[in-house]
Structure 1
Amino acid sequence: MTTGIARLHASPALAGPGRLGLVTNHTGVLPDLRPAAPALLEAGARLVALFGPEHGLHGTAQAGESEAARADPATGLPVYDTYRCGGERLDELLLDSGVDALVYDLQDIGARFYTYVWTMFDLMVSAARTGVRFVVADRPNPLGGLVSEGPLLDPAWASFVGRAAVPVRHGLTCGELARYLNASVVPRVAGSAADLKVIEVAGWQRAMDAEATDLPWVAPSPNMPTPATAAVYPGTCLFEGTNLSEGRGTTQPFEIVGAPYVDARFAPSLAELGLPGVHFRDLRFVPTFHKHAGRLLRGVQVHVTDREVFAPVRTAVAMLSTLRRLYPDDFGWCAADGGEGSDRRPFIDLLWGSDRLRRAVDAGDDPLPLCDPPAPPRRWAGDDVLLYP
């Protein structure tokens, strides 16, 4: 298997002429784990700037944060922080960098609310407006490319955890998503499509998840330590919109959830649902930071027993509905934590892409039909672009 960045390293001319900016972080490595930026320079690429996303160039910052570094000690290149930067300010950043093309190389997770793909989208919009070429050095989707879950985002709930109509679990690579966004959304926002090129992964099959590839796992962010975390994340990330801990501040983020009010009823109630490919273990834990830091919590660990049938989004939605039924006076939602501008809407609405899930759970309705994905993406205009209908 050869990633897009490995193909670019072998042939820097794939990025086209001119000065290159690399959108990257600590996941931007070659298959032998050499950092891509110095490797590209050694290979003769005309790399002049680096651009970092949420969590920063080196991935040291927690969610909602980035790093303050202005230069990369390994290459001496200037570092431009793109997090919380958009619109005219992002256009100015691109122009100030002096790049002729941006190369995007970040490891995505395959869930709509993972922000790296929206860094990609925002930069594509700015690239279209400023005349900068955009190159995606593609990587495999660690959840595979055969399954999608959850509804398309309603544009009324667009935010940095979802800019466009994409399912919660989208089943696309970054390159496929870039083609979709460039064909359907970027022209509406920027006035024209970006000059886009995708350097595809060679050797990836859509049925392959992260562990089926021969690529080393580099944790994409501080709370995504293993492929097992990624497998549950499209569902349990929804707990960020609740008053339960989603396991941040522990060694098993997103695999465990809990709250001070959860008791011995939760795990057996979930077991009674007979959800496929998953078991729930009753546990207690104390987060060291984030929600309920320092408090003893009770909850469950999500043990995936069969990834082929496990549906993370449906599983998490069933968990939310069970919590509302068992603990109606304690379970609750929370506002966006550090949302854009003055955005204090319920964070669950931004994560889900509408208010339908929150309203269904609060009303005691069955929310599981909301998890059904849209029709599978179709080929667009005979080109290699996947579009949701």
Structure 2
Amino acid sequence: MKFLKNINKLNGCKAAILTNQSAFGFNGKYHFQTYAEIFDLKTIFLPEHGLFAELQDQVSGDELKYLFGDMQIVNLYGKEEKSLVPPRESLTGVDVIIVDIKDVGSRYYTFLTTAYYILLEISRLKKETGKAPIFLVIDSPNPIGKKVEGTPLQKEFESFVGVTSVLHRHGLTPGGLLSYYNETFHLKVDVVVVPVGVFHPKSISQFEWVPPSPNIPTQSTCLVYPGMCLLEGTNLSEGRGTTKPFETFGAPYLVGKAKEELDKRMDSHQSDDFRLRALRFLPTFHKYTGTICEGYQLMVLKPKQFHSLYFILYFLKQLGELFPKEFEYLKGVYEFRSDRPAIELLAGDSVLLDYLYGKLSESALSEYLDQSERHWMKLTKPYRY
């Protein structure tokens, strides 16, 4: 991985940028506004949710309009899957592609997948023409640190919510993960990583939490997201439409004797790492809008020990046993894919799916997770800093 020592060399270069509101400066300006004073900034690439995180998940940004001088706005989350790939003309005629956007530490989170698709297209451009822009990553800390969770995504499950070989909780910074992609997949792009403090010594987003998308309101949301995002593939509410998405979850059908047994099982499964608080909630949008849900608030007590993915895998397995008629995995289109259920794209691993369907023991799951996580830590050691 390359680090830039002399940023003055880039002054005046023609540039494009992938960014959003998560990159915000102490001077009251968004980072892209500061770059416009350093570079000849031609294009802003919009990720999912828009430049200011205006849009909910899986909502096209085609209708978004912004006025920033003569800068071109290229939406990379439209109504069709082909919109995810940057148009070739947006990559030619520029010297630098800047990536300055917050990640939340989970492979499902689409911002760095969008950056990966840009990286792939730059690689293709370089192979075809022999020329390509520098890929400049403005690096920021991983909000949930270097701890990892999960198993490598298997090729057959690759999608916009998961790149092959990456764990559910990867433990890397944006610069580390994008450098991993570049070298592991032999893309041969000139990737350069710069700590955010080099360009923005007093960037507020280094110290204060700026929500990168509508349903990651706090840093604590990031701690549970590596596991709780699997709820998107089920008929449980993941808490969208509440003030604590992914920390609040449930469904109207969690009642009766089966719910009492579920409470017992989850109570016996609890440790000092987390607590479940039983509650009722009413989503104001998304699943079960305007309907009272019975559920829980997940409270993480020891972030360094808590394993969000293992928690939700265990929980979903219990639901399958106790609510066989009510609980279900959703079908239909999810992040442009309709050939596989969302739970398969999110779990990304046939072994984990076997566990959910009752074909794998608790001990086998624990051993498999441990081995996968140890291997990933060794594999990604060069990209951790």
Shared fold (TM-score, shorter chain, > 0.5): yes
1:137 paired residue number:
138
Q: 1:31-79 CA distances to partner (integer Å, 9 max, x unpaired)?
A: 555201112223x322111111011112101101243367632454211
**Partner SS for 1:363:** coil
In 2, Cα distance between equivalents of 1:89 and 1:34:
28
Q: Is the CA contact (8 Å cut-off) linking 2:250 and 2:295 kept in structure 1?
A: yes
Residue type of the alignment partner of 1:22: I
Which aligned pairs between 1:1-389 and structure 2 lie closer than 5 A? 12-13=7-8, 15=10, 18-42=13-37, 44-68=38-62, 72-83=66-77, 86=82, 90-95=86-91, 98-130=93-125, 131-145=132-146, 147-185=147-185, 187=186, 192-201=187-196, 215-263=207-255, 264-265=259-260, 266-335=262-331, 337-340=333-336, 343-363=338-358, 365-366=360-361, 368-369=365-366, 370-372=368-370, 373-374=372-373, 375-378=375-378, 384-385=382-383
**Distance change (3 Å), C-alpha of 1:302 and 1:88:** closer
Deviations 1:274-327 (A, max 9, x none): 344100011111112111222111111101112121111111112112212221
> SS of 2:357's equivalent?
helix
Q: Distance in 1 between matches of 2:290 and 2:166?
A: 37
2:151 and 2:305 map into 1 onto residues whose CA distance is 19
Q: Would the alpha carbon gap of residues 132 and 259 (structure 1) be closer, same or farther in structure 2, given more than 3 Å must change? A: same
Structure 2: which amino acid aligns with 1:306? K
The Cα shift of 1:339 comes to 3.0
Q: In structure 1, give the amino acid aligned to 2:16.
A: G
What SS does the aligned partner of 1:160 have?
Answer: coil
- Gaps spanning 5+ residues in structure 1: where? 1-6, 204-212
TM-score normalised over the length of structure 2? 0.85
Give the secondary-structure state (helix, strand or coil) at the position aligned to 1:269: helix
Letter in 1 for 2:346: L
Structure 1 residue 164 displacement after superposition: 2.0
Q: CA offsets, 1:341-366, max 9 Å, x none?
A: 5x241111101112332332222643
Q: 1:196 to 1:276 in 2, by over 3 A?
A: same
Verify the 8 A CA contact 1:108 1:114 in the aligned structure 2: yes
Range with bigger deviation, 11-20 or 231-240:
11-20
Distance of 2:84 and 2:325 partners within structure 1: 45
TM-score normalised according to structure 1 size: 0.84
Q: Which amino acid aligns with 1:178?
A: L
Instruction: Check the 8 A contact 2:15/2:98 in 1, yes or no.
Output: yes
Give the C-alpha shift of residue 118 in structure 1.
0.4
Give the residue type in structure 1 aligned to 2:369: C
C-alpha separation in 2, matches of 1:117 and 1:238: 19
Change (3 A) 1:66 1:35: farther
Distance in 1 (CA, whole Å) between partners of 2:279 and 2:115 is 38
Cα offset for 1:92? 2.1
Deviation at 1:30, TM superposition (A): 2.4
Count residues in correspondence.
360
Distance of aligned partners of 1:69 and 1:354 in 2 relative to their CA distance in 1, 3 Å threshold: same
* Contact residue 334 and residue 342 of structure 2 kept, 8 A: no
Say which SS state the counterpart of residue 53 (structure 2) adopts. coil
**Alpha carbons 2:95, 2:133 under 8 Å: kept:** yes
- C-alpha distance 200-89 of structure 1, shift in aligned 2 (>3 A): closer
Pick closer, same or farther for the CA change 1:214–1:82 going to 2, 3 Å. Answer: closer
Counterpart Cα distance in 2 of 1:95 and 1:274 = 50
CA change 1:250–1:45 in 2 (3 A) is same
Residue 91 of structure 1 deviates from its aligned partner by 4.1
Letter in 2 for 1:231: L
Question: Where does structure 2 lack aligned partners over 5 or more consecutive residues?
Answer: 126-131, 199-204
Which of the two has greater helix per residue?
2
Name the SS of the counterpart of 2:245 in structure 1: coil
Cα distance change, pair 179–15 in 1 and its aligned pair in 2 (3 A)? farther
Q: Which deviates more from structure 2 when the two are superposed, residues 172-181 or residues 124-133?
A: 124-133
Q: Which amino acid aligns with 2:295?
A: G
Deviation at 1:371, TM superposition (A): 3.5
**Which whole-Å deviations, capped at 9, do the CAs of 1:184-241 have from their partners, x for residues lacking one?**
12x3xxxx421111113569xxxxxxxxx96110001000000111111111111111
117 and 336 in structure 1: CA distance in 2 versus 1, 3 angstrom threshold: farther
Q: Using the alignment, how far apart are the partners of 1:379 and 1:318 within structure 2?
A: 27
**Structure 2 Cα separation of the partners of residues 215 and 75 of structure 1:** 30
Distance in 2 (CA, whole Å) between partners of 1:88 and 1:316 is: 29
How far does residue 11 in structure 1 lie from its aligned partner after superposition?
Answer: 7.2
Rounded to whole Å, the distance in 2 between the matches of 1:239 and 1:256 is 11
